[in-house]
Chain A
Amino acid sequence: MKQLLRSFRYLKSYWYLALGSLFSILLATGAMLLIPRLQQLIIDEGIVVENISAVVSFTLAMIGVALGRAIFQFSQGALAARAAQGVAFDMRNDVYGKIQSLSFSYHDQVHTGQLLTRATSDVDRVQGFVGRGAIMLLSAVFMIGGSVALLFTINPELARIMLIMVPITLVLFGIFARAALPLFRAVQQKLDDLNTVLQENFAGIRVIKSFVREAHEAKRYEEVNLEFYDLNIRVNNILSLAFPTIFGVLNLATLAIYWLGGMQVIEGTLSLGELVAFAGYLLMAFFPVLMIGFIVTMLSSASASAVRIFELLDAESEVIEQPGALELPPLKGHISFEDVTFRYYEGGEPVLDNVSFSVEPGQTLALLGTTGSGKSTIINLIPRFYDVREGAVHVDDYDIREVKLESLRSQIGIVLQETNLFDGTVRENIAFGCPQATDEEVERAARAAEAHDFIMRFPNGYDTHVGERGVNLSGGQKQRIAIARALLLDPAILILDDATSSVDLSTEYRIQKALNNLMQGRTSIVVAQRVATVLNADQILVLDNGQIKGRGTHEELVRTNELYAEIYSSQLQDDRHLMQKVETAEEVTQ
């Protein structure tokens, strides 16, 4: 609730719209309340006493009032739409900006889907309540108040019927809502489950077909399907009772009015017109009661959404640019880690334990170690994707926590482990980090990344849309585009997180060549999967459980470091064996 009230701050920039909408709705409600009164006058002052001119003038008045009401109704709707959509617009921009600013440690924990819901449906719910629901609630209260007051002026005795009807309707609504809402949520949940199974059957069709598990999957699906069916029946059983029953209350109230009121007319204490007007006001009081019911249910989901939105907006990014952050000059490329100990979350196991090293400009540093030894963490700390808490990371003698993020990151080129291309043309993707690059520069980068040839084989060359029908890039092609993308930045520091993955031999060879081009004349930090990279490195760090277990060149390590020798020989065994075979093959051919 507190968070929902906080959302009303977003209405501040649109206060005039909200105020206009509120005035409109009050005027429209007032006009609406006049109509049964006019109907009564037509009957009592016109028809019953046979006064034609009264009939005509009151009828015209009624049309006039209806018109006025329509105009205010319209202005209310139009103003509320602008206010509500304005709130949604601002809120979405804030959410999006926040998402962009949060560091990796936040994104590690939160799924894309969750963030997506917050920016779309959660914002919609809050917007619906803040921009519209609240005003409707006010008008509903005003309308009930107004019609009950008018009813009391006509006939206090009959008006008591209203005092019974309103709370009964609200209570009934509450009972049904309480019974139905958890079921609605359960239905939604089941539907998600159902879609998950369907989606899995779709994406995993190869596995299902090759293990002949169609029957198994069908059974799994059938179970969820039947549960979904049962839940739907249960929800509808409640609904089938709810609406007839709630309208039943209205019907009973109508009956009571005609019965008791009819008796009064017979006794002469009430006029016929008043009775008809009474029935009209009854309807007018009833619908706002329903509306209050709906808004209250809307309120609970809006407030849950508001909590989720502000949870995101209040999240503190771990990586924050300091107020007086320095603009980094063009870098030479010196990097040093000083006693860096790092944990991904507080109280967790250290992923890096007292790591110190330094890399001279233009050097290549290779990181070697098993999965989870801390290689990727070292790589993530240099562009400040995470902040170091103990120890420090320096680039050209600047502590990276004291410089502007953009000036740091724009001088570092990264090829990540999993390449993510964006919707757009090949050219746009290569120029991702440097949108103002010329076509020549893009092409030069692509050539250096061994990507130019395959790009030119696409139907539209560099203007080919990535993800367009028929243009499916292979893993190796994506990787070379990612390399071109990094190369275009012409960065002083280059970071390569395991850039050769499942590609065939010749492609791998080409990527390797492209990488060698890329590393020329820059400080490079490379996660080594291939022996070639290790051998080319000026310095190798052997990591194990977050600690540096060895450092030096290949020649030094292979003699002195047991762990290195083990990793190295297990990889090279294969190659040595192979070489002998080739040698014999050569002999045979000679």
Chain B
Amino acid sequence: MTRAALLLLADGRFPAGGHAHSGGAEAAVRAGLITDAASLEEFCRGRLHTSGLVAASLAAAAALGVDPGDLDAAADARTPSPALRAAARRLGRQLLRAARATWPCAGLDLLARRFPKGAHQPVVLGAVAQAAGLEPLDAAYCAAYESVGGPATATVRLLGLDPFDATGVLARLAPATDRVADRAVRAAREALDTGVDALPAASAPLLEISAEVHAARTGRLFAT
């Protein structure tokens, strides 16, 4: 394996469709919940410990070899918003396309055949990490970091937030990101032994509700 593959996979420029999504930040900005760096940090911290933790656990479990069909169903059960479920599958499909061209292998071809319309993005992310020779912890880091990196980048565009303030937010969240990734891997190992019910189901109701409001809104900049 090469750890450098993690840099490629976690890079926001990896061409897998993430740039069109704000991770709920646009809806939060519109609702007046994110107005500056401090409120962005609170938003990201909440997201990291809820949907970020769930995504990291799914990714780690997929990288460990837990059945992707079981994981995709587990992701559905943990994503009440139909708009977010649809977006997660679209992003999963886009990631799989990019990854199959980047790290061609039979395992990813099989996944594409099994989920022609896409599996939840974190599930695909775990499988891709495995195909790239990475560890479950790497997959968990990738998912956890994405859960806050996306909203931070989007907020720079939405609010004209100072980009240095946004990177400062992400740096301050690094210790929490470490803990989330560790916890995700522990849960994934348990899921390997006892089934996907062992995975965290931390929910952020406001993210789910505002995603539905956002999906119905015209004049939005980001898809989610």
On whether the two chains bind one another, the answer is no
